[in-house]
């Protein structure tokens, strides 16, 4: 049952009138209002007349309405009808009684034809309660082969029956019926769900191993079977390495959460091929974690651990010709914003920003994350001297950033004048 904790904390606390006569059922801003509107209510008989209300109240009862006061002859008539119904009652009348939820007996339907007809009429009516009740009646009054035969052509009846078995924890029976009906996938899934719900992780692991063969059948999607194996190996890893992850409890956490803690414990970021079962790079391969998701987890974890050099190293790939190349699978912009949110130092932000090719975009992004060097570089690339001058004004004079900007302005003026000279010489020649 859900919300156990909530229930436990509210043990035996009651709302008592004795403590406070005005105590409200809920917090006041709710109850206040709900009581207000009742004052404007109209009288009940404008909404519904007495006989209709009486009828609704009778229908709500799960027993037959109390015998009305009638003449002796009437009473005999009613009793005769009741007696007849107890011996034989036409199926449509029974279906109606089931719909109203009034007492009726199914055991009067003895022949196979009647039984089938009864079920079909209930399915036609669409009342699930009646369908299940009839299925359970058929289960108890027919031999298994006949029962299965009837269910085979009525999948909706199977659904109601299987749901019921499932709810009452008769997983084996539910799965068996589904298999007989050729619904092997669902049978496997029911077993899976039951295994997952075990509280003890060792039992869970054992149960999952036991249902492997259900997923390995040729009719089953091999992808699902792969996922089940992944689940099993993950649980095994978590059980075997639980001490390694101390103080974090990673039992039954997802692959990504496990990856996160693996990143946290990993010491050899410079050597991705390091041989260990908790090497995050290996984990990523084993569970087919996409490169982008791997990078995202690594950035977040390394960022929170302030290990900025590991982050930079992650994306600097040394190629054969010794030239470092930068590869990233997540959109650069997302990575930069996240690094900023993780409070990465300016140097780290700048080193990522330099890979944004379009200077306009780089400028906007640099401004967003306040990376001064990148702002200056972008403005230089855009050859916007005025903007550089303006930007310089915003900086405290004498700081490194101030001088950096100033230098950029000078450089930009030089290249500009150089270009100017070249243009002039072109013109004269």
Residue 353's CB is within 10 A of a number of other CB atoms, namely: 25
**What is each CA distance from 116 to 18, 100, 102, 170, in whole angstroms?**
58, 21, 21, 25
Nearest one of 238, 277, 278, 243 to 254, comparing CA atoms: 238
Give least dist CB 44 to other proteins, A.
5
Give least dist CB 321 to other proteins, A.
31
Closest CB to other proteins among 290 and 415? 290
Alpha helix stretches (DSSP H) within 103-143: 112-125, 128-141
Give least dist CB 42 to other proteins, A.
5
Closest CB to other proteins among 257 and 358? 257
Closest CB to other proteins among 293 and 395? 293
Closest CB to other proteins among 164 and 404? 164
Specify burial of residue 49 (Cβ count, 10 A radius: 0-12, 13-18, 19+): exposed
- 3 conformational bin, left if phi > 0, alpha if psi -120 to 50, beta if neither: left
Closest CB to other proteins among 20 and 357? 20
Give least dist CB 319 to other proteins, A.
26
Give least dist CB 205 to other proteins, A.
12
Task: Report the distance separating Cα 352 and Cα 371, nearest Å.
Answer: 10
Closest CB to other proteins among 246 and 383? 246
Determine contact, residues 157/135, Cβ cutoff 8 Å. Answer: yes
Nearest one of 419, 421, 422 to 411, comparing CA atoms: 419
Closest CB to other proteins among 203 and 325? 203
Angle subtended at Cα 175 by Cα 170 and Cα 181, rounded to the nearest 5 degrees: 130
Place of tokens 């003895």: 110
Task: Report the distance separating Cα 327 and Cα 335, nearest Å.
Answer: 12
Give least dist CB 243 to other proteins, A.
20
Give least dist CB 12 to other proteins, A.
6
Closest CB to other proteins among 6 and 67? 6
**Angle, nearest 10°, between helix axes 112-125 and 91-100?**
40
Task: Report the distance separating Cα 29 and Cα 8, nearest Å.
Answer: 26
Give least dist CB 194 to other proteins, A.
10
Give least dist CB 393 to other proteins, A.
23
Closest CB to other proteins among 22 and 73? 22
Angle subtended at Cα 301 by Cα 297 and Cα 302, rounded to the nearest 5 degrees: 115
Give the count of alpha carbons within 13 A of 103, CB side only. Answer: 8
């Amino acid at each position: 049952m859900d919300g156990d904790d909530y229930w436990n904390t509210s043990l035996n606390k009651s709302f008592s009138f004795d403590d406070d006569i005005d105590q409200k059922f809920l917090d006041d801003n709710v109850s206040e209002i709900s009581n207000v509107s009742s004052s404007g209510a109209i009288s009940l008989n404008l909404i519904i007349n007495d006989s209709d209300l009486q009828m609704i109240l009778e229908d709500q009862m799960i027993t037959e309405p109390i015998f009305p006061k009638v003449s002796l002859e009437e009473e005999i008539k009613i009793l005769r009808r009741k007696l007849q119904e107890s011996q034989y009652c036409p199926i449509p009348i029974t279906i109606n009684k089931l719909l109203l939820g009034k007492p009726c007996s199914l055991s009067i339907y003895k022949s196979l034809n009647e039984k089938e007809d009864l079920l079909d009429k209930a399915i036609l009516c669409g009342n699930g309660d009646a369908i299940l009740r009839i299925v359970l009646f058929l289960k108890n009054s027919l031999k298994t082969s006949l029962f299965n035969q009837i269910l085979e052509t009525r999948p909706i009846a199977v659904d109601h029956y299987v749901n019921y078995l499932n709810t009452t924890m008769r997983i084996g029976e539910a799965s068996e019926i589904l298999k007989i009906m050729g619904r092997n996938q669902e049978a496997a899934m029911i077993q899976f769900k039951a295994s997952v719900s075990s509280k003890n992780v060792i039992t869970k692991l054992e149960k999952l191993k036991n249902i492997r063969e259900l997923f390995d059948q040729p009719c089953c999607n091999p992808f699902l079977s792969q996922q089940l194996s992944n689940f099993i190996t993950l649980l095994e890893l978590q059980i075997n390495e639980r001490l390694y992850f101390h103080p974090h409890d990673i039992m039954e956490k997802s692959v990504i959460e496990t990856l996160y803690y693996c990143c946290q414990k990993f010491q050899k970021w410079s050597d991705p091929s390091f041989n260990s079962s908790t090497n995050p790079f290996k984990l990523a391969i084993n569970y087919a974690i996409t490169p982008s998701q791997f990078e995202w987890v690594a950035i977040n974890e390394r960022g929170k651990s302030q290990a900025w050099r590991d982050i930079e190293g992650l994306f600097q790939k040394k190629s054969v010709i010794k030239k470092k190349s930068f590869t990233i699978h997540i959109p650069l912009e997302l990575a930069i914003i996240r690094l900023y949110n993780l409070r990465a130092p300016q140097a780290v932000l700048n080193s990522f920003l330099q890979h944004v090719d379009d200077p306009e975009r780089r400028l906007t992004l640099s401004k967003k994350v306040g990376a001064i060097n990148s702002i200056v570089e972008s403005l230089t690339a855009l050859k916007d001297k005025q903007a550089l001058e303006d930007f310089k004004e915003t900086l405290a004079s004498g700081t490194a950033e101030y001088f950096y900007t100033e230098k950029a302005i000078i450089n930009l003026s030089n290249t500009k004048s150089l270009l100017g000279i070249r243009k002039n010489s072109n013109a004269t020649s």
